[in-house]
Amino acid sequence: MTQINADAPALPHSAVLIVNAKSRKGRKLFRRAVKGLRAAGLDITSAHAVRKPKLLASVIRDAVHSGAPMVIVGGGDGSLSSAVDHFVGHDCVFALLPLGTANSFARSLGIPLDLEGAIAVIATGQRQRIDLGMIDRDYFANCAAIGLSPLIAESVPDGFKAWAGRVGYLSWALLMLFRFKPFRLTIEGPQGTETLDALEVRIANGGYHGGTELVDDARVDSGEIVVQAVVGRTLPYLAWSWLTSVLRLPARRHTTREFHGRELRVITDPPLAISIDGEVLAKTPVTARAAAGVIDVAAPNAPPPA
């Protein structure tokens, strides 16, 4: 989660709204989002419900390049991750409406998952400078994964997440568990090279993955990337690692190894697909990096003193 800065500047009150109408709740909530943002005092200069996901990136790019002081993007983690590249190098605030299944990036930023709560952050929150992760030269928002996650992303039927929601998605994950095989993982970093048996790997800029807080030490403003490996060779151990993480049991830390740094080389044997914020977009070996302080986001205000 972001570290709140009490002296952070206020957010702009003029914005462009762009919603992925193919996200789980995007089409349903688009009009409600427009109405809610305007009722909260925001000047929405234009609003776009994008029904073809392939066009989403170009619509966001055009809005940022137009000089809009803030662009609000509504969608799931994949939509948000594809958006962040276009904000790098521009004085434009990235604001988000979490309209997906897991909404891991919103969780990492501390943004409420209900529409009204997210709108309140955009209307009354503050501007925060955060890091992005990188897989080779590709920016991502929250978390990339190797192992079960890419297998799920590649095999889940089209529209299943939107229909079944988070519970259905987790059920599909359990089904895919029986097709999954452990692998050898090598991490090359400032402290040297280490090879170990792994069941899953998370390359984290934020602490959440799949809607669950899994990488406790990953923060979007730390200047470091965290590579967390679930170690072992038996699949029940992977299920145990997830269970202890979901329940926040102390034993969760005994199931993983973590590597921290500005840049880490990630190699697997055999080479494996990588899902980046839910979309399969790369394959090992890769270099994972932290791009420190490269975009501004709409973040919640500091909580009052206890």
Assess if residue 20 is contained within a domain: yes
- 152 and 122: one domain? no
Q: What is the CATH number of the domain that holds 41?
A: 3.40.50.10330
Span 81-132, pLDDT tens digits: 989 999 999 999 999 999 988 899 999 999 999 999 999 999 999 999 999 9
Most confident region among 2-6, 78-82, 218-222, 300-304 by mean pLDDT: 218-222
- 225 and 250: one domain? yes
- 262 and 213: one domain? yes
Q: What is the domain range of residue 234?
A: 140-293
Span 231-283, pLDDT tens digits: 998 878 888 888 898 888 999 899 999 999 999 999 999 999 999 998 889 99
- 200 and 182: one domain? yes
- 94 and 221: one domain? no
Q: Of 146, 168, 233, 165, which Cα lies nearest the Cα of 198?
A: 233
Write out the two tokens for 226: 């965290």
CA gap 262, 2 in Å, rounded = 18
304 pLDDT band, cuts 50/70/90, is: very low
**Calculated CA dihedral for residues 92, 95, 99, 101, nearest 10 degrees:** 90
CA gap 259, 65 in Å, rounded = 37
Write out the two tokens for 277: 């914020």
Span 158-196, pLDDT tens digits: 655 555 555 566 666 666 666 778 999 999 998 899 999
Assess if residue 231 is contained within a domain: yes
Query: Mean of the pLDDT values across residues 276-300?
Result: 95
Q: Is the pLDDT of residue 293 over 60?
A: yes
pTM over 0.85: yes
Q: Is the pLDDT of residue 16 over 90?
A: yes
Q: Of 283, 278, 220, 260, which Cα lies nearest the Cα of 80?
A: 278
- 231 and 106: one domain? no
- 177 and 123: one domain? no
Number of domains composing the chain: 2
Q: Where are the beta strands (DSSP E) in 136-269?
A: 138-140, 143-146, 183-189, 192-204, 208-209, 212-213, 225-231, 256-261, 263-269
